[in-house]
Amino acid sequence: MSKSLLSAKELGLVSCHDCHLLSRWPNLASDQTANCPRCGCALHQRKPNSIARTWALLIAAIILYIPANLLPMTITSALGTVSEDTIMSGVIYFVQSGSWEIALVIFTASVFVPFMKFLILIYLLLSVQFKSIKRPKDRTVLYRVTEAVGRWSMVDVYVVTILVALVKLGMLAEIEAGPAAFYFASVVVSTMVAAESFDPRLIWDVVEEDE
Ligand SMILES: [Zn+2]
């Protein structure tokens, strides 16, 4: 990589989070905070405590993922019998009843995607903490993918909502969203905020320090 590419940080510049004004980073003592000369918002060269925040939110998401999978996602009662379905028993139910497309959507959105996001964020955090200089460009792409799929992770909650609405319209059975829906929504939100707290520039800081 050419050393002619200097980051804003190396040039002593900083961009405002809110109004995006590029200004000169003032020389301050470590306990002082810099403010944007235009809008007054606090300036940071990198997202503050990025690694610790991302870890905290990620661990919270992983803990919430346990009740999201173990507790019932839907509670159905038809003709006096009540059945509770977790995410996995729902997937199995749809496979057995021949609707493998629905099973695939639920499995991808509720099991595969959240699990991949956990793995990618753990990998990115560890690679920065252990000052890895390997494949920074690929790691940036991984980060971009993680951020982009965030908004699609709520699909499972939508499926439950639509199912509840459909069954209620049919009036043949009673269906309610189970407690897992709340935990699952919390997993999605914490993972999205975790991804947002991670500063991908840290990947390149390590690489540039090494040169
Ligand atoms: Zn500003």
CA of residue 36 to ligand 1 center, whole Å:
5
How buried is 122 (Cβ within 10 angstroms: 0-12 exposed, 13-18 middle, 19+ buried)?
Answer: middle
Q: Which domains are delineated in the chain?
A: 1-45 (no CATH), 47-210 (1.20.140)
Tell me, what's the pLDDT at 77?
Answer: 83
119-128 pLDDT, tens per residue? 999 999 999 9
Percent of all residues in the chain with a pLDDT value above 90, rounded to a whole number: 36
129 falls in which pLDDT band (50, 70, 90)? very high
Q: Output the pTM of the full model.
A: 0.83
CA of residue 143 to ligand 1 center, whole Å:
26
The more confidently predicted of residues 72 and 163 is 72
Closest CA to 203 of 147, 148, 119, 127: 127
CA of residue 43 to ligand 1 center, whole Å:
8
Phi/psi of residue 153, nearest 5 degrees: -70, -15
CA of residue 177 to ligand 1 center, whole Å:
43
The more confidently predicted of residues 154 and 97 is 97
171 falls in which pLDDT band (50, 70, 90)? low
The yes-or-no verdict on residue 196 having pLDDT over 80 is yes
Tell me, what's the pLDDT at 172?
Answer: 64
Percent of all residues in the chain with a pLDDT value above 70, rounded to a whole number: 91
CA of residue 192 to ligand 1 center, whole Å:
24
Distances (CA, A) of 18 to 21, 33, 38: 8, 16, 10
The yes-or-no verdict on residue 157 having pLDDT over 60 is yes
CA of residue 44 to ligand 1 center, whole Å:
11
Lowest mean pLDDT among 3-17, 104-118, 125-139: 3-17
78-116 pLDDT, tens per residue? 777 888 989 888 889 889 988 888 888 888 888 888 899
Tell me, what's the pLDDT at 28?
Answer: 76
Tell me the mean pLDDT in the region 152-181.
73
Distances (CA, A) of 121 to 41, 148, 191, 210: 28, 13, 9, 23
70 falls in which pLDDT band (50, 70, 90)? very high
CA of residue 26 to ligand 1 center, whole Å:
14
207 falls in which pLDDT band (50, 70, 90)? confident
